[in-house]
């Protein structure tokens, strides 16, 4: 029961890369709120209850796969997220987040790029839907031929497992993958993919160092400990050295004391049924 997106293994079936922001809207009812509680999906980090009130809209990505024990803190945008992860930011609906990932306040994605090799960087060269351009074209005959932008509209953010993204991080719109174990320093601007277990920061963000030595990272990437729920880690202490942690996970695995965590998931269709 795995899905692989941009080299990241997610321990849930049927996760898909969703290029656009296709979604459905459901409206909050008491049944919807109870459904969220029953499936351990929170919209507050620590307080009880939810940010939505009855009749408030909820936006659910078409391909959303949501595991239990997830928190969409302060947002009514629901996208694919793995267990024990949370976001304090309103992220785009085509975002994918793995397990055990922490996303701070005010993380956002840039808008679509503009072609700058044309006579103008203005959107007049490629679009006619924004109000100013649309009104002009409706009121005036235009002999100017537009050409579609070469850039794809706001490509997905793909985030792995055990990732920490600090506050006020800005992520480029052309499709960024943040691999397992990475750490993003606050106020960084991410313009390219982030390698596993890299600590990156700056404008634009660059690798500052790695969380662990290369041989440790190789072992962690092989173990993929996030396939398990942490309640099974009976011999492990939070303060164990990383090598001790690895050795204990290997021992538990060898002795068949760990079972992959395969909870029931929630999809867009589950929400839609509640509004029917």
List, for residues 130-187, the tens digit of each pLDDT value: 999 999 999 999 999 999 888 876 789 999 999 999 999 999 998 899 999 999 999 9
User: Which two structure tokens, joined as six digits, stand for 82?
Assistant: 């793995």
The domain limits of the chain are: 3-111+153-212+264-275, 114-150
Q: What is the pTM of this model?
A: 0.93
The C-alpha atoms of residue 47 and residue 133 are separated, in whole angstroms, by 45
Residues identified as active-site: 114
* Residue closest to 110 by CA, chosen among 78, 166, 157: 157
The C-alpha atoms of residue 57 and residue 23 are separated, in whole angstroms, by 12
List, for residues 239-271, the tens digit of each pLDDT value: 999 999 999 999 999 999 999 999 999 999 999
| E runs forming strands in 83-185 | 86-87, 96-97, 102-103, 108-109, 157-159, 164-165, 170-171, 176-178, 183-184
**Per-residue exposure over 235-244, b if at least 16 CB sit within 10 Å of its own CB, e if not:** eeeeeeeeee
Q: What is the CATH number of domain 3-111+153-212+264-275?
A: 2.160.10.10
């Amino acid at each position: 029961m795995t899905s692989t997106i941009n080299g990241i293994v997610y321990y849930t079936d049927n996760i898909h890369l969703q290029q656009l922001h296709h979604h459905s809207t459901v409206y909050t009812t008491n049944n919807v709120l109870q459904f969220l509680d029953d499936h351990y999906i929170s919209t507050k980090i620590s307080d009880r209850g939810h940010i939505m009130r009855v009749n408030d809209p909820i936006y659910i990505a078409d391909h959303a796969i949501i595991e239990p024990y997830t928190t969409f803190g302060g947002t009514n945008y629901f996208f694919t997220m793995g267990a024990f992860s949370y976001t304090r930011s309103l992220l785009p609906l085509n975002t994918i987040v793995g397990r055990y990932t922490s996303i701070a306040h005010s993380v956002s994605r840039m808008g679509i790029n503009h072609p700058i090799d044309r006579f103008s960087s203005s959107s007049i060269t490629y679009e006619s839907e924004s109000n100013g351009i649309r009104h002009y074209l409706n009121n005036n005959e235009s002999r100017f031929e537009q050409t579609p932008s070469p850039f794809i509209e706001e490509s997905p953010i793909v985030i792995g497992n055990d990732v920490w993204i600090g506050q006020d991080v800005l992520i480029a719109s052309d499709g960024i993958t943040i691999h397992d174990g990475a750490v993003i320093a606050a106020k960084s601007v991410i313009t390219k993919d982030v390698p596993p277990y890299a600590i990156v920061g700056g404008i634009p963000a660059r690798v500052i160092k790695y969380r662990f030595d290369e041989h440790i990272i190789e072992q962690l990437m092989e173990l993929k400990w996030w396939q398990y729920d942490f309640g099974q880690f009976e011999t492990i202490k939070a303060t164990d050295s990383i090598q001790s942690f690895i050795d204990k996970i290997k021992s538990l695995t060898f002795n068949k004391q760990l079972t992959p965590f395969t909870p029931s998931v929630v999809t867009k269709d589950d929400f839609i049924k509640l509004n029917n």
